[in-house]
Structure 1
Amino acid sequence: MWPKERHQRILSLLNNKSLVSANDLAEFLSVSRETVRRDLLELENSGLIDRVHGGAVLANKGDEAPFEKRKNVQTRAKQDIARKAVSLIKPGESIMVDAGTTTSAFGHYLAKLAGIMVVTNSIDIAQTIKASGADIDLILLGGQLTSDVPATYGELTLSEIQRFNVNLAFISPVAIDADKGVFSYALKEAEVAKAMISKASKSVILSDHSKIGETNRVRFAETNEINYLITDSRVKPEQLKPFEKTGVEIISEKSNKD
């Protein structure tokens, strides 16, 4: 398939889905991820798309795809991650969870537990747990509503986080790289993630395969600050290999096979 034909197909797919990952494009086009990266770079240089989160959105649609759109991307991967993540929580433990589309999926699995404490800035997660009627000590952090993400941010949120000491912090970044660290798109999101990690005995990163080996705008943690990286079954062995010397415990079907 010639580059121009691939470019046409990429643009057509983006017109229908708003946001697609590089891995999904590679499968759709039957080419390598490196080929997709080159195609996306050419399309970005032409002003037709913006590269974000290891994938792309059409240009002139904002810097980051809307939260509700992102919830519908990599849904199977997010469910896969959520199932693995919930198994780390022991009865009676306390956890913090930040706001993100992956942690929103995680919230549905949290709602099946009982006897734990959940501290979150995510209104989406809080509503899911509340609606379930689960026996969970649920705390929604106060703060400002500043974007389309249904969550609280700002000085009040950061201040309230400091009041707690929890067993685990579950964080959903937009990118993680073994050498360069863990990233958010927005500063306000990075500040919350960093604060939650500082108040947890152990930190857990929930990241689908499309975000691994990528970087983004705001780093909130070094890789050696992370205890667990949970990803989905579509992650490639070469994506995980750089993490072997970081001390991070990787939880995925790929890592369990190796």
Structure 2
Amino acid sequence: MNEQLSVTDEGNLSGRQEEILSIVHTQGFATIDSLARHFDVSTQTVRRDIIFLDEQLLLQRFHGGAGVREASVRLGYAEKRVTSAEAKERIARLVVSRIKPGESVFLDVGTTVEAVARALRGRSGLRVFTSSLATATILSSEQDAEVFVTGGIVRGPDGSLTDEWAREAISRFRFDVAVLGFSGIDDDGALMDFDLAKVSIKQAVAARASRVIAAGEEAKLLRPAIARVLDATRVHTLVTNEMPPSRVFESLEKAGVEIAFDRN
């Protein structure tokens, strides 16, 4: 094995550490074992590299691996709102076409789901439940709509509500359809997310919903994230803006997931 020093004498990153950063930024998450195999070094060597990179705030250390650092690598909320705006609108229209009049709808947090909220404006007899202050604000002026907001601690600039207060509120309702955002897709088609605090909220919502619609841009289908949210068999429909990669398409099709995307 090539057990070269992790850091150069000047304190700069070694070639291996630079490549570790590249792999993590591309994939979203990488395990220690996979990195050790990739570089043909021991897991202890990779672990030392990850500890150093975490201390430099270049990535985030997790049990068994490393992921992108949310504050420094992932797009900020304001930037996300304008990134792929047209794609989000296309996704939103497809999602809304699958929501029947009079159905109770849970809307998750995130800029793609906020686009769904905007596309729902003007619908009569709307009953929306959400853990997103941003989504509630979008629909607050709708006179013919009932908007229920879960309690909980406000987390982050997107106004998401988390913790046991939100989960308790969710457990009191049944939803005809839940529209969930996600950060990535696992190899078997499972939804994944970077934000661990939001994972339990998404899971609680899915447990109370008759149908789950996952909504996200095609770029998210090309990467894993940190935590699994839902197995593919729990998802009824995936709505995206482009034809999914063949690996993702095959995994979701095998799980019986309807795949909807804008062909235009």
Give yes or no for TM over 0.5: yes
Greater mean alpha carbon deviation, residues 45-54 or residues 228-237: 45-54
Contact 1:178 1:246 in 2 (8 A): no
Residue of structure 1 in register with 2:221 after alignment: 212
Deviation at 1:47, TM superposition (A): 5.2
Residue among 2, 19, 25 paired with 1:51: 25
Q: What 5-or-longer segments of structure 2 have no aligned partner? A: 1-14, 29-56, 60-70
Alignment CA distance shift 1:45-1:165 (3 Å): same
Residue of structure 1 in register with 2:118 after alignment: 108
Amino acid at match of 1:195: A
Q: What 5-or-longer segments of structure 1 have no aligned partner? A: 1-40
Amino acid at match of 1:173: F
Any idea what SS the aligned residue of 2:254 has? coil
Matched, 1:67 2:77: yes
Residue of structure 1 in register with 2:106 after alignment: 96
Matched, 1:200 2:182: no
Residue among 172, 176, 181 paired with 2:185: 176
Residue of structure 1 in register with 2:34 after alignment: none
Matched residues, number = 212
Contact 2:26 2:223 in 1 (8 A): no
Residue of structure 2 in register with 1:166 after alignment: 175
Any idea what SS the aligned residue of 2:127 has? strand
Deviation at 1:94, TM superposition (A): 0.1
Alignment CA distance shift 1:168-1:66 (3 Å): same
Any idea what SS the aligned residue of 1:220 has? strand
Residue among 154, 162, 166 paired with 1:145: 154
Residue among 114, 130, 134 paired with 2:140: 130
Residue of structure 1 in register with 2:63 after alignment: none
Q: Deviations over 1:5-38 (max 9, x none)?
A: xxxxxxxxxxxxxxxxxxxxxxxxxxxxxxxxxx
Deviation at 1:64, TM superposition (A): 2.9
Deviation at 1:49, TM superposition (A): 9.5
Deviation at 1:130, TM superposition (A): 0.8
Amino acid at match of 2:109: A
Any idea what SS the aligned residue of 1:164 has? coil
Alignment CA distance shift 1:52-1:173 (3 Å): farther
Deviation at 1:233, TM superposition (A): 3.1
Residue of structure 2 in register with 1:25 after alignment: none
Any idea what SS the aligned residue of 1:117 has? strand
Deviation at 1:237, TM superposition (A): 5.2
Residue among 238, 242, 255 paired with 1:233: 242
- Structural RMSD (CA): 2.8
TM-score normalised per structure 1: 0.73
Whichever of the two has the greater Rg, that structure is 2
Amino acid at match of 2:122: K
Q: Deviations over 1:157-212 (max 9, x none)?
A: 01100010010000000012350511111111111111110000010100211011
